[in-house]
Structure 1
Amino acid sequence: MARKRLVLVTGINGYIAAHTAAALFKDGYAVRGTVRARTANVENLVRKLNEYHDGDRLELVEIPDISADGAFDRAVDGVQAIAHIASPVSTTETDPAPMMRAAVQGTTSLLSSALVEARKRSGKDALKSVVFMSSMSAVFSPNRPAGHVFTESDWNDVAEEELRRLGTSAPGYTFHQASKTAAERAFWKYGKETGVEFAMTSLCPAPVFGPPLYLPEPISSLSIRIKEVYDIFEGGPIPEFSPIRSTFIDVRDVAELVLRVFEQHGEQPGARNRYVLTAQPPISPQQIADVLRESFPERREKIGEGNPGERYPRMTWKFDSSKAASLLGREWIGFRQSVVDSAKAFLGAKSV
């Protein structure tokens, strides 16, 4: 297969980024990934990714601090596309400042390096497309009226204000929601103010399920939502309802959409696109337990029963992901398959 373009994937050892790299390899791309350091988990990822390419299409670049000026200068050298997926994620932080700084400055630092690089080259070797991995947290806002349908035009206009009001006493999930919203706003502001010619796209996925490409050590470092599936599978409590938990998307669909963006928008100078990604609302944490107990009867004594059959309380809000579905060009991976495939990946995992 003739080699396609070189793509930079930031935070390549992350849950979504690892799948994105694998999807790119399968489609013939070369990948340069950024990591904070060459840890044991990074080496585990490299071994897994080597199954998806011919042995010379993966390169790693260490960036200890993504918010530093010029942090990405070396990483963007010679790339034709960028998938910016690295992002600070934590629900246990007590100080929001480091997370907000890393999310926003990490994004603008990358774009600054990308702009310089884009101006160096032209033609087929030019940097043509940057994808920013945002979140449904940057779209969903609980102050919308009953019956509101969330689309790409919506923004979370509550989280940042809530964080400013509560400061360090704000719950951890507010840190995450505010940082994702602020980072995506910074992404679009930078593009508007500089007039960059490369295509810019943001993807706003719902909570992401689906089998990890590799299992991190310790297993407790799994991405937040997929860890909920793991915890239920291992007999942990069934989480309470929340509006965000009523939506989901499979990680494999997210990764494939990054690829589709590069193919569809990568040759359109100045293209600007935002996509809401959600597959099958409404769902509930109870449904995760129901699927697991039905699919793994040998673990029924371990997996909590909860209230079988209980669904999410009546949701007045809805989510329109038709734009992303059209780009994907096939049916979304369903909730049941996503949960079962995730659990299969967890079989035999060490509980740490």
Structure 2
Amino acid sequence: MIDMGINTASVMVFVSGANGYIAQHVVKQLLAKGYTVVGSVRSESKGDELKLLIQNEKFSYEVIPTLSDKNAFDAALKKHPEVTVFLHTASPVSFAIEDVENDLVKPAIEGTLNALRSIKEHAPQITRVVITSSAVAMWGFGSHFDGNKVHDELDWSPITYEEGLAGASFGYKSSKKYAELAAHDFMTKEKPNFAITYVHPTYTFGPQAYVVKDKKNLNLSNEIVNQVIKLGKDDEIPEHGNVFADVRDVAQAHIVAFESDEAIGQRLLLASGDFTLDSVAEIINRRFPHSNVPRGDVSRNEEIKKKMIHKYDNSKTRKILGFEFKTLEESIYDMVEQLDNA
């Protein structure tokens, strides 16, 4: 465990995929706590753009164009021997792909393994690793959805590798499961000198860490909320719901994951509560009277829950993390307020 009595500025944290939605919040919180951060991005232009957003001399970046290159992380880790913590948030999430296996599933698995191998071979000083997985690696969707099962941190999605090749949505779910399984297998076989923790967010809502670059096209989770914002007063609200977590809580979980010895080897399920698009619309209408969003019919919520919302028990995660999660209202309000002012 990192002794929080020491000056955190003496600790350097590597964050892969540092310009991602969750990763930017991780970086922001790390810097606020005094850590020094080096992030990886896919291009120099993305790195410069991120530095302009962050404007903190304790942040620097390294360019790693592709995670699939076996030696992708070698040069960056060799260049920064002072890094002692590695947070692997980078993973493909785009659904606009043609080859599910080669553009989504394999890059997630290979990227995770390449990071772990590089840490073992070139950065023996790294003692803590955190991997951003997803709740989709824990529970089933589609034909695998079980509305009666109460999921916890020990569960694995029943999706098979082959089922994951059926389309981008299932490919994403498969990529998270099999990338995490690959990491578990690596730890068992290679026995590296670092400890590992896995963070499993559900749908992740909340404001951007810095500024909104394009409010018409948000990350995949927030686009769920954005599709409600884009509706007119007379439009029909789609019947949809699931489980959510606030992005700021997810980011904080990444930090506790390496600061706490209790988190070693654990799978942390970041889930604050459930949502429906009707609940989202109801919050927006109540908190933003000028909105053109249709009024949500929350009387549909119970029926939607039965059909598509997972039950869960993440009391173990909450005990390890030791902080209160933000509510759906906080997430939606802060997100919409930011978009209103963008």
Structure 1 length as normaliser, TM-score? 0.85
Asked if the contact 2:100/2:167 (under 8 Å) is kept, the reply is: no
Q: For 1:234 and 1:292, locate their aligned partners in 2 and report how far apart those are by CA, in whole Å.
A: 12
Larger mean CA deviation between 7-16 and 171-180 belongs to 171-180
Note the C-alpha offset of 1:140. 0.9
For the Cα contact (< 8 Å) 1:230–1:346, is it kept in 2?
no
In the other structure, the counterpart of 1:190 is 186
Q: What are the ranges of 5 or more consecutive residues in structure 2 without an aligned counterpart?
A: 1-6
Q: Tell me which residue corresponds to 1:123.
A: none
Give me the identity figure in percent. Answer: 29
Task: Establish whether residue 14 from structure 1 lines up as the match of residue 17 from structure 2.
Answer: no
Please state if 1:133 is matched with 2:132.
Answer: yes
Alpha-carbon distance in structure 1 between the residues aligned to 2:48 and 2:212: 11
* 1:84 is the counterpart of 2:80: no
CA contact (8 A) 1:10 1:33 kept: yes
Please tell me whether residue 332 in structure 1 is matched to residue 342 in structure 2: no
CA deviation profile, 1:254-301 (whole Å, cap 9, x unmatched):
1111111111139x9xx41111110113x21211111111111111xx
Deviation at 1:13, TM superposition (A): 0.5
Q: Give the alignment of 1:47-66 within 5 angstroms.
A: 47-50=52-55, 55-66=56-67
Asked if structure 2 preserves the Cα contact closer than 8 Å seen for 1:139 and 1:152, the reply is yes
Does residue 1:226 correspond to 2:222, yes or no?
yes
Q: Is the 8 A contact 1:199 1:265 kept in 2?
A: no
Q: How does 1:154-169 map to 2 (within 5 A)?
A: 154-158=155-159, 160-163=161-164, 167=165
Match of 1:153, SS state, is coil
1:35 maps to a residue whose letter is: V
AA in 1 matched with 2:332: V
Instruction: Give me the whole-angstrom Cα distance separating, in 2, the residues matched to 1:262 and 1:140.
Output: 25
The number of residue pairs the alignment matches comes to: 324
How big is the shift at 1:20? Answer: 0.2
Q: Which residue of 2 aligns with 1:3?
A: 9
Partners of 2:279 and 2:296 within 8 A in 1: no
1:152-176 CA-to-partner distances (Å, cap 9, x unmatched) read: 111112253313xxx4xx3421111
The residue aligned with 2:337 is 344
**Counterpart Cα distance in 1 of 2:72 and 2:210:** 27
Matching of residues 1-352 of structure 1 within 5 Å:
3-39=9-45, 42-50=47-55, 55-77=56-78, 78=81, 79-97=83-101, 98-119=103-124, 126-142=125-141, 143=144, 147-158=148-159, 160-163=161-164, 167=165, 170-215=166-211, 217-235=213-231, 238-241=237-240, 245-265=241-261, 271-281=264-274, 283-299=275-291, 302-313=292-303, 314-315=305-306, 317-349=310-342
Change beyond 3 A, Cα 1:175–1:146: closer
Offset of residue 310 of structure 1? 3.0
- 2 CA distance for matches of 1:12 and 1:182? 22
The alpha-carbon deviation at position 2 of structure 1 amounts to 5.6
**TM-score if structure 2 supplies the norm length?**
0.88
Q: Provide the alpha-carbon RMSD of the alignment.
A: 2.2
Are 1:148 and 1:318, in contact at CA under 8 Å, matched by a contact in 2?
yes
What residue ranges of structure 1 are gaps of 5+ in the alignment?
120-125
Secondary structure at the counterpart of residue 196 of structure 2: strand
